[in-house]
Amino acid sequence: MPANGQGEINVDESESYSDTLASSEDEEAACLSRTIERSFTTTTLPADKLATIESLPSKRDHEAFFRECIDIMLREAIFEGTSRRTKVLDFKQPETLLKLLDFDLKAQPSSHSDLIKSLKDVIKYSVKTGHPYFVNQLFSSVDPYGFVGQMLTDALNPSAYTYEVAPVVILMEETVLREMRQIVGWPNGEGDGIFCPGGSMANGYAISCARHYYFPEVKTKGLHGLPKLVLFTSEDAHYSIKKLASFLGLGTENVHLVNTNSQGKMDPDHLEQLINTSLENGERPFMVSSTAGTTVIGAFDPIEKLADICKKNNMWLHVDAAWGGGALISKKHRNLLKGIERADSVTWNPHKLLTAPQQCSTLLVKHKNVLSEAHSANAAYLFQKDKFYDTQYDTGDKHIQCGRKADVLKFWFMWKAKGTSGLEQHIDKVFENAQYFYENIKQRPEFQIVIPEPECTNICFWYVPESLRMNSTEEFLDKLQNDGEYKEKLHRVAPKIKEKMMTEGTMMVTYQTYKEKPNFFRMVFQSSGLDKNDMLHLIQEFERLGQGL
């Protein structure tokens, strides 16, 4: 038995290990009775004391510091930070913030009290992305189970490459990805998938898979000497398609942009024309990247028609459902993605509509082996084949990352907590909220709709200040079309309101242009913690901020 009198820790199944301990009797044995704090790395004590282990803070010191930090985080970042009674942000200009918060890194350690001050300052000047009125991006809110899952990931700090190092995480990934593929509609959830650091990366993997599927020699020989490979996506698609095509050596100009209709959906006829032109020009079209839930207006491309075109032309169909994928989980809304089971690959980010913490993105692939075949390198030092367990569970080699933070645990924990039915109700609720918001602003003369009959939870509108208000929507649209000065004035309204909302900190909603349309706001709902009263509050807040412009 261990030579110490600190028996506060009970370890199950430690018999064989205790035996080990018992076998050492000299200096070495003593090392086993040391207290926990010794496994931590160097601390904030004065430099001359660091070499002496005994002078390190005790477990009690660490634990007290941990608990104080955790209390502050829970109180100030989580509970107060997400209260409707607090501000979404305390905006400071960069040069001011650089003075207010002590960013500088110094030669000497900080005291715990200085660290606590830093921690509080970081919270104070950070945007509260979990606040109900943070409606600025395609992520928002704090899911309590997701948050616990995220902390658990941190406490375990795994790297998700081998079963040896991350057994639980590896099996969890397989479980969650299979379930997601099943929801996409692939028989028995067959296929493959990975968690990626963001939807852009997931789209990049999709391009890589598609390329490998038709031109496996790219892996070894590269693109040199191949025909010009081209892909197609809509003009409303996320910019990551072009960005990743460029990173992958294909070039942004070889991403041909297909027109979208007035609802933001890809035009299949134009796609066919572009493919034909491309073939005539001697290019090799190999992929269509469609979008389910476009970034700005939330449009869903007509997947079935695109699948027909891809089939006819022997092309890979990718669906970027990073944003809209969550709708698949709702019987009421999954029709928006009709035909998605015909896709070869799907990007789906649970950190968006399903509100998992940042970041949680997946690429799902219908074909079982292409992810591995395209990306594996069989590094002998990591993916040894002479292990004593089934090494098919060492799934890391299909990623282009080596070390990889485990993004699955938080989502798995949320899913366990809520059940699929809970996730479904969440989705239905946010769609209801969006609809309620839309119906409401449609009635009010201060608002003009950018895209009628929105499909997703993106609601795009102009706030029209009194000085620019028209008597009817028809008159407004006519003015917008024909009066350049009017359009320019309206274009400047959103940035002004945005500045006001940011400096007051009462909410955060983003604005942007779209095609020929001047700056407008995009509300984008993901949090089912909001309700109809919140919708009304947000509307009123626009009215308040827009007064006097």
In the complex, minimum distance from the CB of residue 107 to its own copies, in angstroms, rounded to a whole number: 5
- Spatial separation of the C-alpha atoms in residues 124 and 176, rounded to whole Å: 36
Q: 96 is written with which tokens?
A: 């001011």
Q: Least distance in Å: CB of 335 to its own copies?
A: 20
- Listed in sequence order, the residues at least 6 apart from 5 whose beta carbon sits closer than 8 Å to its beta carbon are none
User: Residue 459: which of 441, 478, 475 has the closest Cα?
Assistant: 441
Q: Which is nearer to its own copies, 174 or 272 (CB)?
A: 174
Rounded to a whole number of angstroms, the minimum distance from the CB of residue 429 to its own copies is 7
Q: How many residues does the chain have?
A: 549
Is 199 or 339 the residue whose CB approaches its own copies more closely? Answer: 199
Nearest residue to 491 (alpha-carbon basis) of 509, 475, 513: 513
Shortest Å, Cβ 63 to its own copies:
7
- The nearer residue to its own copies, 164 or 446, going by C-beta atoms, is 164
Q: Which residue pairs from 53-61 have beta carbons closer than 8 angstroms and sit at least 24 positions apart in sequence?
A: 59/35, 61/37
List phi, psi (to 5°) of 80: -65, -40
DSSP 506: S
b/e for 308-340, b at 16 or more Cβ within 10 A? bbbeebebbbbbbbbbbbbbbbbeebbebbebb
Nearer to its own copies, 159 or 313 (CB): 159
Which residues, at least 6 apart from 134, have a Cβ–Cβ distance to it below 8 Å? 88, 127, 128, 140, 507, 508
Q: How far is the CB of 347 from its own copies (least distance, A)?
A: 12
* Nearer to its own copies among residue 99 and residue 471 (C-beta): 99
Are the beta carbons of 255 and 245 closer than 8 angstroms? yes
- The smaller minimum CB distance to its own copies, of residues 287 and 508, is found at 508
Q: Which is nearer to its own copies, 124 or 338 (CB)?
A: 124
Of 143 and 344, CB closest to its own copies: 143
Give me the least distance between CB of 267 and its own copies, in Å please: 21
CB 471 to its own copies: min, Å: 27
Closest to 477 in 3D by CA, of 490, 495, 496: 490
Distance between CA atoms of 325 and 443, rounded to whole angstroms?
Answer: 30
CA distance 544 to 506: 11
Q: Which is nearer to its own copies, 38 or 312 (CB)?
A: 38
3-state secondary structure 331-385: CCCHHHHCCHHHCCEEEECCCCCCCCCCCCEEEEECCCCHHHHHHCCCCCCCCCC
Task: Report in angstroms how near the CB of residue 279 gets to its own copies at its nearest.
Answer: 16
Strand partners, 230: 285
Query: What kind and span of H or E run contains 23?
Result: helix 15-23
Residue number with CB closer to its own copies (448 or 528): 528
Q: In 10 A of CB 3, how many CB atoms? A: 12
CB of 452 to its own copies, least distance (A): 20
Angle at 186 between CA 181 and CA 187, to 5 degrees: 120
Tell me whether residue 342 or residue 410 sits nearer to its own copies (CB atom). 410
In this complex, which beta carbon is closest to its own copies, that of residue 135 or of residue 307? 135
Which residue in 157, 155, 84, 79 sits closest to 123, CA to CA?
Answer: 79
CB of 300 to its own copies, least distance (A): 18
Nearest by Cα to 240 from 228, 252, 229 = 252
User: Between residues 4 and 369, which has the closer beta carbon with respect to its own copies?
Assistant: 4
Tokens of 75: 């109180």
d(CA 497, CA 486): 17
Considering the complex, what minimum distance in angstroms separates the CB of residue 466 from its own copies?
17
CB of 308 to its own copies, least distance (A): 28
Contact criterion met (CB below 8 Å) for 124 and 97: no
CA distance 135 to 498: 12
CB of 368 to its own copies, least distance (A): 18
**Residue 475 beta carbon to its own copies: minimum distance, rounded to whole angstroms:** 26
Cβ contacts of 50 within 8 Å, gap of 6 or more: 42, 43
Judged by beta carbon, residue 287 or residue 309, the one nearer its own copies is 287
If one counts every other C-beta atom within 10 angstroms of the C-beta of residue 175, the result is 14
What type of residue sits at position 495? P
